[in-house]
Amino acid sequence: MVAKHLILTPDQRAKLLPLLEAEVPKIKALKANTSLLPMQKLDQLCAIHQQADPQVQSILPPQQYAKWEEIRGDEVMQILQQKKEAQQ
C-alpha cells in the first residue's frame, strides 16, 4: 500500500521492504501487550516508527519522505480515533 502511495522505484522498494518487515513483529507484539495503556502503546508505536525514519529518509527524496510522514501520521490518527470511539 505504501508503495502505491509513494510511487516507489524498484530500488526504493527493495530498500524499504526490509525496514517495514522489521517493524511488523514489533508492532504485533505492541498490539498484543495488554499491560500497556492505549497512550503508552501509541508512544511506543511512534518510537518504533522513529527508529526507522533516518533510514527511510536516506532512501526517499524530500517529496516522497513528506508523503511517508503523512501516511504515518494518518496511521497514528486512525489509532487515536479508534481509541476515542472505543471509550465512548
pLDDT digits 0-9 by tens, 29-78 = 988 998 988 888 889 988 998 999 999 999 999 999 999 988 888 877 87
Mean pLDDT of 9-21: 93
Question: What pLDDT shows up at residue 58?
Answer: 95
**Chain centroid, CA 20 distance in Å:** 8
Residue 88 is predicted with a pLDDT of: 65
Q: What does the alpha-carbon distance between residue 16 and residue 59 come to, in Å, rounded to a whole number?
A: 8
pTM: 0.74
Query: Average pLDDT of 1-14?
Result: 86
